[in-house]
Structure 1
Amino acid sequence: MVRLPLSPEEVERGQRLGALLRRARGDRSMLMTALEAGVSPETLRKIESGRVATPAFPTIAAIADVLGLSLDAVWSEINAAGGAAPARAGRYANERLAS
């Protein structure tokens, strides 16, 4: 399978996603966050650095849940040029992610 090159907009969106996840993770270790989300630390590192600009939805949903981010907030922030503070949800706010 041949992957088409990403558009500049997709690359920028991936960078915003990575920045959002890094901010939300704060002082939490990348290793523990990745393990709780069921992804490899290398995958989380690549997403946070923007090297994986279009990660799979289940991967983002799992990471967002661990970090207490709502999927609506993630979607809003990565699709906007600027972003407000993400809304908290998920297991740390005693809420479930809705899809």
Structure 2
Amino acid sequence: MVDRMMVRKPLTDEQIEAGRRLGGELRRTRGERSLDDVARAAAISPETLRKIEAGRLPSPAFGTVVALAAALGISVDALAQEYSRSVPA
């Protein structure tokens, strides 16, 4: 039996920029709410949310994005549109 490890391709510059836009949109939407409050509501660590908002985690897991959208009262579609604005299909 052959053990095959899946290796993730590095993100493109466009994907990294899209992650920065996503993080910025989450930060803008969070507004005056504390980072800890939103992270708790989304069941993620404050450090994870900090990294996403700063663009240092440009490709968060789908479940994380869904949880953040719910915690912030915004649609996943709106976040997807912001993310995909310049990412080629």
Shorter-chain TM range is 0.7 to 0.9
Offset of residue 3 of structure 1: 4.0
RMSD: 1.2
Task: Tell me the TM-score normalised to structure 2 length.
Answer: 0.85
What whole-Å deviation, never above 9, does each CA across 1:36-91 have from its counterpart, x for those lacking one? 1100000000000000111000001001101011011111111115xxxxxxxxxx
How many matched pairs? 81
2:67 corresponding residue in structure 1:
62
1:76 corresponding residue in structure 2:
81
% of aligned pairs identical? 53
Gaps of 5+ in 2: none
Task: Tell me the TM-score normalised to structure 1 length.
Answer: 0.77
Measure, in 2, the Cα distance between the counterparts of 1:52 and 1:3: 15
Gaps of 5+ in 1: 82-99
Greater than 6 Å deviation, 4+ residue runs:
none
